[in-house]
Structure 1
Amino acid sequence: MSEVFEGYERQYCELSANLLKKCTSASLLGGEQKKQKVSEIKSGLDAAESLIRKMDLEARNLQPNVKAVLLAKLREYKSDLNNLKNEVKRIASSNFNQAARDELLESGMPDSLTVSADQRARLLMSTERLNKSSDRIRDSRSTMLETEDLGVSILQDLHQQRQSLLHANNTLYGVDDNMSRSKKILTAMSRRMSRNKWIIGAVIVVILVAVILILYFKLSK
């Protein structure tokens, strides 16, 4: 795993959690305060997008097996960033004109309580949606870490298998060398045996000739 990527990843997770909190607080504000908070969130989104680009660039420069795991993480982070952007758009679009809101409050319309109830319901829904997004990010991160550990374990097993195969290959080479030497020794022994047979045969012939000659000379006398 790349330490550079992990550094960017930690920064992004911290920034994402901070942006979720700001989105929740921005939903409870109005007027200029909400505009200012939305502006801060947008700046944070730009920083988060920059971190994702850096992580993407770092991941693509790594080995294929590690790159695949990191790119899967990036897809989750990009999805999380898109959810944050959509939430910011929703918050910004709900920031209606302050004067109209004041006029509505001053008019004392009977359904003003209904409007407030609807706003509270939307805020509760937004908070719940943000909490679910945060939970999904944590779950996705946990899944990615488990996948990463599994990938590392598989790579270690493959490395051990490769070492075993190399050891077996070296053993086979050693056996082949021993067989070659044994074959040479057997060939040399076979040649010596053949040579000894010819020598013994020649000695027997000489002895027989000598015996015949001795008998011949004795009989001739």
Structure 2
Amino acid sequence: MGTLIESYEQQYSSLTADITFNIGRISNTHGAERQVHIRQAEKLFDEATELLEQMELEVKDLPLKDRQKYNTRVKSYKAELAKLQKDNKRAKVGIDSSRDELLGDDTHDSEDQRQRLLDNTETLDRTSRRLDHGYKITLETEQIGAQIMEDLHNQRQTINRSRHRMEEMNTNLGKSSRVLSGMMKRIIQNRLLLLVICAVLVVVVVLAIYFMVKRKS
């Protein structure tokens, strides 16, 4: 877990360095190039905000002895990001400051409205991305659920086939048992018949010997 948070911290450090670079470029460029740096800075701010949210989730799973240390770090990262956001806003409106002084409060009001619109747009963009993320998670959950249902269906079919095989085996065993019982009965009958024949032969032999002795007498 600690390794993952350290990776988040490295990503955050890289993002803040890129944000600082773009804020500097916003102050020193004009026109289309300035707009490119403004959009890039906004994108980086969104990525940094989401990264801090992920970091907070990971910190909650840490052991208690490490949690306080990383909580303090995350708070300092948030404070740093808030300061960079203020610097970014000043950089975006700084180029028009001289014009504002010449035109008066109306320009300030217009700039305030424009800034509020920018803030609202940023919030909507973040919300849209979170909704997209939630939708992707929902689709993944549905796919996992479908896969589980398919696995359960396959397992049910396997169980049914196994049950049918067991029933067939039981039927075959029953038939084999009946055949064996019939064979045993026939064997017993044959043995009894053999015994009767033997007894008859013994009686015949005895009678023959008896009559032969009687004649000689």
Q: Scaled by the length of structure 1, what TM-score is found?
A: 0.49
Q: Scaled by the length of structure 2, what TM-score is found?
A: 0.50
Greater RCO, CA 8 A, separation 6+: 1
